[in-house]
Amino acid sequence: MRTAGWRSFALYGFAIALCQPLAGCGSAEAPAAAVAGKNDRVEAAPVVPVDAPLVIAFGDSLYAGYQLGPKEGLAPQLQAALAADGRMVRIQNAGVSGDTTAAGRQRLSYVLDNAKAKPALVLLGLGGNDMLRGIGPDQTRANLDAMLAELKRRGIPVLMTGMMAAPNLGSNYASKFNPIFPELADKYGASLYPFILDNVVTDKSLMLGDNMHPNAKGVKIIAASLAPLVEQALPEPR
């Protein structure tokens, strides 16, 4: 992980300390209305062919587009970033605010079984709510391992977006939680973006008021960072 990513945790740790009593910010009951300002608005993702490869973005509120408009979340912005680079794919938003790895494990097969086509790639981004709720890292690892095993069984490539423990959770927790993502990515041959909020969480102009979720401009930066990795992870176009 880049040094800038490690420096991100000063502000991030403070925000987590505020949110921990809520047992996970961005729960499914949280309002979905957009709160981004006019300057944060982004253009719609270009229309892609119906037979374009399918990418499923399977994660929590950071994928779901918490408090953002329908065109401002990760799926539409990433689709737009890829299209601007000449790579036409359909990205399905399968993010659920408040999801833990256990909840994701329960719904993964349903999402895959009901997809309109076999995904060319799955983006997997869960674990942040486990940390907020103080769930044991062993459980987080086991749930992510099971999801990666299922995706491998189905022959679906994976790009993981990682999370890291905030400093206020202590070095013991961090020593067990932080290695989960690189170690599982290595075990299953998955691509990895180590920290999804890297280069975003320390800039308040890129975050919502809770200092936990990116606004539309922040998501745009994340999408731009992920786009090259998605292109590399996707099968070569026919």
Is 186 a catalytic site residue? no
Catalytic member of 61, 97, 130, 191 = 61
User: What is the distance between the alpha carbons of residues 37 and 217, in angstroms, rounded to a whole number?
Assistant: 10
> Which is more confidently placed, 112 or 36?
112
List all residues 6 or more positions away from 28 whose beta carbon is below 8 Å from its beta carbon. 96, 97, 98
Burial category of 21 from C-beta neighbours within 10 Å (exposed 0-12, middle 13-18, buried 19 and up): exposed
Residue 138 appears among annotated catalytic residues: no
Residue 39 predicted with pLDDT over 70? no
Catalytic residue among 27, 203, 210, 225: 210
Can you give the residue ranges of every domain in the chain? 3-233
Q: Tell me how far CA of residue 164 lies from CA of 21, 26, 68, 77, 110, in angstroms.
A: 19, 18, 24, 24, 28
pLDDT band at 91 (very low <50, low <70, confident <90, very high): very high
Contacts of 79 (CB under 8 A, 6+ apart): 45, 46, 48, 89, 90, 91
Cα separation, 74 vs 66, in Å, equals 10
The CATH classification number of 3-233 equals 3.40.50.1110
| Cα dihedral 224→108→178→93 (10° resolution) | 20
**Model confidence pLDDT, tens digit, residues 4-23:** 444 444 445 545 544 444 33
* pLDDT tens per residue across span 44-85: 556 778 889 999 999 999 999 999 999 999 999 999 999 999
Whether 61 is catalytic is yes
